[in-house]
Amino acid sequence: MKLLSIECSATPCSVALTEDNKILSSAFTNVKLTHSQTLMPMALSVLSSSLTKISEIEALAVSVGPGSFTGIRIGISAVKGLAQVKNLPCVAVSTLEAMAENYSDTDCFVCSVMDARCNQVYNALFKNTNGEISRLCEDRALSIDELVPQITELSKEGKSIYIVGDGAEIFYPFVGRTENVCLADSQRRFQNALGVSAVAERLLKEGKVTSAKELCPIYLRLPQAERELKRKEEQK
């Protein structure tokens, strides 16, 4: 099955085309251009370089959050537009889970971290054993102070803990002196459509698909504008 995957939940933007876990083509950027400028040209480039027509795509996958509210909406909107032409099945993938795939070839723990601002992070913890990645907790928003002792406790198990995600450099100084804790190298630190594809392939086999109409973002907390409005209403 030819699967087109999209990831644009933070500054990096990427697209991957795979077929039965085989990478046919992929593209990645990590620049401060808006995803509305870069995403569709990247998708068309990926299809062109693999000599694949849009009509040959059989399923679509996208990271649905957590992450940048704008980036997530752009990714989902792009997939909705592509899917509706042929009513293609869609797969909604957690951004944090997709990042854990960056270390799928290593027996370790993965701490996926995204900057949620205000001294908070979006986070999930994963364990990889013999290529099988399992969740240790659900996706969540929590303070850095809450996450630090959890990493300290996890380090006692003796396996390496890799800190990945666009919030890795923010969080790592708080745990960098803890034994077994490592900052992921730059090649494997950021979210990537290849990770989205790997998770989506598993979900497709499990029948966990959705329609384009049902695709929706997972924010974990309200956008700032909505938080401000809610705060004002509570103060009335």
| The pair of three-digit structure tokens given for residue 16, joined into one six-digit string | 């991957």
Alpha helices in 139-223 (DSSP H): 144-155, 168-175, 193-205
Q: Are strands 161-164 and 181-183 parallel, antiparallel or unpaired?
A: parallel
Whether the CB-CB separation of 121 and 142 falls below 8 Å is answered with: yes
User: How many angstroms separate the CA atoms of 19 and 28, rounded?
Assistant: 18
Judge whether residue 25 has pLDDT over 80: yes
Please tell me the pTM assigned to this model.
0.91
Q: List domains and CATH numbers for the chain.
A: 2-95+191-226 (3.30.420.40), 102-183 (3.30.420.40)
Judge whether residue 22 has pLDDT over 80: yes
Nearest CA to 94 out of 63, 134, 52, 117 is that of: 63
Residue 214 burial by CB count (10 A; 0-12/13-18/19+): exposed, middle or buried? exposed
Instruction: Scan for tokens 């909604």, then name that residue.
Output: 92
Q: Are strands 2-7 and 59-63 parallel, antiparallel or unpaired?
A: parallel
29-59 confidence digits (pLDDT tens): 988 778 988 999 999 999 999 999 999 999 9
Helix, strand, coil in percent for the chain, rounding step 5: 40, 30, 35
The phi-psi region of residue 188 (left if phi > 0; otherwise alpha if psi is between -120 and 50; otherwise beta) is: alpha
Rg (CA), the chain: 18
Judge whether residue 227 has pLDDT over 70: no
Q: How far apart are the first and last CA of the chain?
A: 55
Instruction: Scan for tokens 């504008």, then name that residue.
Output: 225
Please report the pLDDT score of residue 23 as a whole number.
Answer: 97
165-207 confidence digits (pLDDT tens): 999 999 999 999 999 999 999 999 999 999 999 999 999 999 9
